[in-house]
Amino acid sequence: MTQWKNDKELFALMKERLYTPVVGDILDGLGCYHQFLPQEVRPLRGDMKLAGRAMPVLMIDVYGPQKKPFGLLTEALDQLKEDEIYLAAGGTKRCAYWGELLTATARTRKAAGAVVNGWHRDTPQVLEQNWPVFSCGCYAQDSSVRTQVVDFRCPVEFGDVWVNPGDIVFGDIDGVLIIPQKYETEVFEKALEKAAGEKVVRKAIEGGMTATAAFAKFGIL
């Protein structure tokens, strides 16, 4: 019997009780060794945390003015659903993939966050909206003549990670993880158990137990 009944309860548990290192450890135990997005993908602010379902977006490079500036960007934004995460990959990071008005649109639609394998801009205006955005850093270069969205709700490769629509995305200050749907129940049941166990181990170590003895007793380190 899981501790959650639906996505909303699961995402709340993830943000309250879990952190990416413990979930990553569980994925390793299942043989899923490459589920962290590239380490340069960071939250704009250290306390930002996100949990939701992936809505992947495919980007490509373009060169100069386009017949349809930004490609399918507005269409991708306008169909975001509650608790989904806009996750953009592709192109060669020639410009900003995210900014103030994109944040306002996604936030208003009750999406759970944005993760882009590229840059963001409008940093103060994004931060003041208090909504989680993860990117490779800030860079003001505009995207209209440099990149566009060519597809969405499609599988993408983000770094070395394959992401399917509906996979769970979990991000915090230590990184961003993709949890494939076929493993999600097992992963989060085990992760919640491990996170609780780590608190017990820490208490034992702080009480004087050696790390060697603690690992022998609890199997957690």
Q: What does the pLDDT average to over 40-44? A: 98
Q: Is 122 annotated as a binding residue?
A: yes
Sign of CA dihedral 54, 73, 157, 87: negative
Task: Read off the pLDDT of residues 43-96 as tens digits, 9 standing for 90 and up.
Answer: 999 999 999 999 999 999 999 999 999 999 999 999 999 999 999 999 999 999
Cα–Cα distance measured from residue 103 to residue 204, given in angstroms and rounded to the nearest whole number: 44
Cα–Cα distance measured from residue 27 to residue 137, given in angstroms and rounded to the nearest whole number: 27
Confidence check: pLDDT of 101 > 80: yes
- Give the pLDDT score at 123: 98
Q: Is 30 annotated as a binding residue?
A: no
Task: Read off the pLDDT of residues 110-156 as tens digits, 9 standing for 90 and up.
Answer: 999 999 999 999 999 999 999 999 999 999 999 999 999 999 999 99
- Give the pLDDT score at 220: 82
Bridge partners, residue 171, by sequence? 50, 176
pTM of the model: 0.95
Task: Read off the pLDDT of residues 149-183 as tens digits, 9 standing for 90 and up.
Answer: 999 999 999 999 999 999 999 999 999 999 999 99
Q: Which of 133, 99, 101, 138 is nearest to 115 (CA)?
A: 133
Sign of CA dihedral 159, 59, 106, 116: positive
Q: Is 101 annotated as a binding residue?
A: yes
Q: Is 13 annotated as a binding residue?
A: no
CA-atom Rg of the chain in angstroms: 19
Q: Is 157 annotated as a binding residue?
A: no
- Give the pLDDT score at 221: 74
Q: Is 184 annotated as a binding residue?
A: no
